[in-house]
Amino acid sequence: MSDLHAAAKACLDASEPDEKLRLTRETWRAFERGELQADASSPAPEPIAPPGRPERPRLVNARQLPQRGLGSAEGRIALVHAVAHIEFNAINLAWDAVYRFRGKPHDYYRDWASCAHDEARHFAMLSARLGELGHAYGDFDAHDGLWQMAEKTADNDTARMALVPRVLEARGLDVTPGMIERLRQLGDEATVAILEVILREEVAHVAAGTRWYLHCCERDGIDPVETFFGLIREYMGVDLRGPFNRPARIEAGFTAQELDRLASLAAGAHEHREPVDRSATRNQA
């Protein structure tokens, strides 16, 4: 197989985690060797549908997920599971960006294939950590918010680049430092080490989203800042949470103007939101 889009689809469709990880590693290595390339004659992408994933975890509405504080062993395990679920979804999101959006520069496909490879490695580390803690991926319920946004933006590459990496995945830049601090206080250095790797590498993934979002805006002759906030309003309303990790987001390509406006939006959204337990893991998956 020399068609990168077909290889990405195979990764996307694989339902068992071990198979998805294996195909992701092989596809990335083949791409790096120059054996795979975006093929203009590749069949058009199929309408977006749920990606390949195992029967478990059971997917529920985010509001149905129990709140678990990190002070308990179960809460810490649930957190590891929640982050593993995010990383598993991120593999699919990266491969869908390769499969679905055609006619892009080579570096676009390299960025998202590399991202898929990183996310697969993150998932493998977290899955191994769950095993050390006596659990496995699928033992806790999760929600499908990341993929739902992929479905909403399947026909709009500008919206996809704006909202999946720069809003949903960028949230990890904001919340992970607090997780690391709390887990370090609790003596869980094994999980801390994994989260530090993920945090460091996720900055580059969000930066890729910024890079290709700006590319789309330049292509279409539209203002990137106004378009970004217009897309947030169109697709998300006021469902935005702060605070924001300004140094990490600046490194990932956000401007000070964007961050100031995000903070203002999040503050307004907070006024209309029910109070939540900030120590809980409910909304991390």
What 3-state DSSP class applies to 112? Answer: helix
Instruction: Write the burial class of residue 48 (CB in 10 Å: 0-12 exposed, 13-18 middle, 19+ buried).
Output: middle
Domains of the chain, by residue range, sit at 82-284
| Six token digits for residue 113 | 């294939």
Please compute the mean of the pLDDT values over residues 4-10 and round it to a whole number.
98
Fold of 82-284: Ferritin (1.20.1260)
Q: What is the DSSP letter of 16?
A: S
What's the CA gap between 222 and 226, in Å, rounded? 8
Residue tagged 């903070």 (tokens): 263
pTM of the model: 0.92
The CA-based dihedral angle spanning residues 106, 108, 112, 113, taken in that order and rounded to the nearest 10 degrees? 0
pLDDT of residue 125: 98
pLDDT tens readout for residues 86-141: 999 999 999 999 999 999 999 999 999 999 999 999 999 999 999 999 999 999 99
> Is 106 in contact with 38 (CB distance < 8 Å)?
yes
pLDDT tens readout for residues 163-212: 999 999 999 999 999 999 999 999 999 999 999 999 999 999 999 999 99
What's the CA gap between 155 and 271, in Å, rounded? 33
Q: Is the pLDDT of residue 238 over 80?
A: no
> Is 170 in contact with 93 (CB distance < 8 Å)?
no
